[in-house]
């Protein structure tokens, strides 16, 4: 699994010109799934994201987690995160899981992360054409890949 985590002042997902979900201060998390992903990847990634200390403490140091600040989370599936750009100029999405498996993993990820957060997780709609708006705070953007564990 690959995640792009963005610290946001607010974020929203619009589908068919209607706001589907929105959050205030917290995290926008984009998630990509590949066929080799497992429940262990979900467990590792959810704990990593919920505990990321990317919010400022009283001294202005990024030392607080989303739970520490009572922040919200918006999670959006994005198969293009699994793109390979090593050949040519057209990205290959061969590593991205097909919808039946990816949807199961995305739902499991959202349900698992919801268990660790203090506020209910909000989501996009798997496979929908979504417009995502955000105000990235900082900007702070972190990329996490369960295969690299950097």
- 80 catalytically annotated: yes
Which pLDDT value is given to residue 43?
A: 97
Which one of 80, 85, 117, 146 is the catalytic residue? 80
At 25-56, the pLDDT tens digits run 999 999 999 999 999 999 999 999 999 999 99
Distance in angstroms (rounded) separating the CA atoms of residues 41 and 33:
10
At 85-130, the pLDDT tens digits run 999 999 999 999 999 999 999 999 999 999 999 899 999 999 999 9
pLDDT at position 148 over 80: yes
> In this structure, is residue 25 part of a structural domain?
yes
> In this structure, is residue 150 part of a structural domain?
no
pLDDT at position 12 over 90: yes
> What are the φ and ψ backbone dihedral angles of 147, each rounded to 5 degrees?
-85, -25
Q: Which domain holds residue 23?
A: 2-145
Tally of domains in the chain? 1
pLDDT at position 150 over 80: no
* Closest C-alpha to 69, from 55, 83, 80: 55
How far does Cα 22 stand from its chain's mean position?
A: 14
Cα angle: 107, vertex 52, 124; to 5 degrees: 30
CB 110 within 8 A of CB 46: no
> In this structure, is residue 111 part of a structural domain?
yes
Which pLDDT value is given to residue 137?
A: 97
CATH number, residue 51: 3.50.80.10
């Amino acid at each position: 699994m690959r995640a792009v985590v963005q610290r946001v002042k607010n974020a929203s997902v619009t589908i068919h010109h209607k706001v589907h979900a929105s959050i205030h201060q917290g995290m926008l998390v984009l998630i990509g799934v590949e066929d080799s992903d497992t429940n262990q990847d979900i467990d590792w990634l959810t704990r990593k994201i919920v505990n990321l200390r990317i919010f400022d403490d009283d001294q202005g140091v990024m030392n607080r987690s989303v739970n520490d600040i009572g922040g919200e989370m918006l999670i959006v599936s994005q198969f293009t995160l699994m793109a390979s750009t090593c050949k040519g100029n057209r990205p290959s999405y061969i590593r991205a899981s097909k919808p039946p498996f990816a949807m199961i993993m995305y739902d499991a990820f959202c349900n698992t992360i919801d268990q660790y957060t203090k506020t209910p997780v909000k989501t996009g709609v798997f496979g929908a054409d979504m417009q995502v708006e955000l105000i990235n705070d900082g900007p702070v953007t972190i990329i996490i890949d369960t295969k690299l564990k950097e």
